[in-house]
Amino acid sequence: MANFARYIKGEAGPVIDYTPVGAVVAGQVVVVGDLLGVARLDITAGVLGQLHLGGVYDFPKSTAGGSAIAAGKTVYWDAGNSVATETSTGNKLLGKTELAAVDGDTTVRVVYSPGAR
């Protein structure tokens, strides 16, 4: 789950409409083809809701040794493990880290911009 921190100054945040097959809980990262979205509110199965495509979020990350991520790094969403990672292979772009996260941190703060490199 991703926890919303704030919008980028002056931006309300882009959204897309999304109707899930199964229920989606607030904070859930949803993969839609090559796109990632974050549900800010719960979305009932079969009911139109919205996924946010921008803002600043605290995304989960691995706490294993070697999982530290420095500030300003490009990070990706590992959907299989539901964590942010610096590994691009097989993962979807999230954005850039705003703050550094050490190995034991459970989250990393990301300026979430899945369409930017």
Per-residue pLDDT tens digits for 68-110: 999 999 999 999 999 999 999 999 999 999 999 999 999 999 9
Per-residue pLDDT tens digits for 29-52: 999 988 899 998 999 999 999 998
The model's pTM is: 0.84
Domain ranges within the chain, ordered by starting residue: 3-112
Q: What is the DSSP string of 10-59?
A: T----EEEE--SS-B-TT-EEEETTEEEEESS-B-TTS-EEEE--EEEEE
Cα–Cα dist 36/64, whole Å: 24
